[in-house]
Amino acid sequence: RTENFTLRNITDGANDTLIARSPNVNGGNNPITEGFSISMNNVETFGVNASRSGWNETGDPKPHQYFFATQSVSKVSDYRIVIGENIGFGRSTEREIEVGTGTFLTAPSIDTNFKVFNIYTNEEVDFAYFDLNRDGATIRAQSCDPSGNNAPKDPQQPDSVYQAPPQGVFSSVSSITGQCSDLVYVIEDAREFQDTLTYRFELRTLISNNILTTRNPEFGDTLEVFTTKPFSRNDRFQFRMDPENLPSVDSDSAKNALDEILVIPNPYKVSSIMNRKLQGAAGSKTERFILQAYRFLQP
């Protein structure tokens, strides 16, 4: 949880503290300093920033949709999955994983056609990988290896028989028997936990009339997932106040503007026969107005 923020002036190497540990990080008012004020709007709930996340590919058919969830320990980070040209572009790490309550399976270390990167730290990260969408799947076998009348049609070859991709290809399939996707588990340090599982990636295949309408990601495809996250101690926002960004008054223009100001006696009483008459005890009288004009002087 974000507790506070500090604002410093670092002009020409200075380190002057203007605001020290202000708790106003959720829209509260902060004091005006150096001629401006700061307003912070913190995001306190974790989730996927859908407007920034997704595949870079825009062709047709599109890659399968993605699913992203916390596996064990959440971490303030963003991620990128890059699909390579060949199997062997990446390699998974052997890891025992709890796939159900009290049920543990070991994901083997195998060559893959993808790598996983932490965008937030700009590092490649380890991952565990269950390759389910192939022959001999040990989890949801019927859905992961559809055959016969249950097999879906390929969107690029609707008349062909479905064939599972080679081992190591990040993939997914869907048929009348259900949905099946490979599972990717990110392995990294998070808070006080070392070498732990943070998040899980899956693919979500779209299907219509038992014909796949999305495809497995291919070479050149990149998936980026950005999360909504609170401000953290790693965040630094730096901005510069340049002369062209500051309000200013041109002295010559100000002098010329004074010539446009009309100066009249003060006060100046006026009345008009068009004014309505007010009835009073002493009879009628004309309503009068007072105009006051002030001369504006250049500061």
- Per-residue pLDDT at 294: 46
- Per-residue pLDDT at 156: 66
Has residue 284 been placed in a domain?
Answer: yes
pLDDT range class, residue 203, cuts 50, 70, 90: very high
pLDDT range class, residue 240, cuts 50, 70, 90: confident
- Per-residue pLDDT at 297: 46
Specify whether 158 is located in the same domain as 125. Answer: yes
> Which of 195, 228, 261 is the endpoint of a domain?
228
Specify whether 113 is located in the same domain as 211. Answer: yes
Specify whether 37 is located in the same domain as 58. Answer: no
- Per-residue pLDDT at 176: 78
Specify whether 29 is located in the same domain as 59. Answer: no
Q: Does position 285 have pLDDT exceeding 90, yes or no?
A: no
Cα distance between residue 25 and residue 41, in whole Å: 6
- Per-residue pLDDT at 263: 66
Predicted TM-score of the model (pTM): 0.68
Has residue 243 been placed in a domain?
Answer: no
**What residues have CB less than 8 Å from 248, skipping those under 6 apart?**
none
- In tens, the pLDDT along 105-131 reads 899 999 999 999 999 888 999 999 999
Has residue 297 been placed in a domain?
Answer: no
Q: Which residue has the higher pLDDT, 247 or 70?
A: 70
Percentage of residues in the chain having pLDDT higher than 70 = 78
Parent domain of 270: 251-291
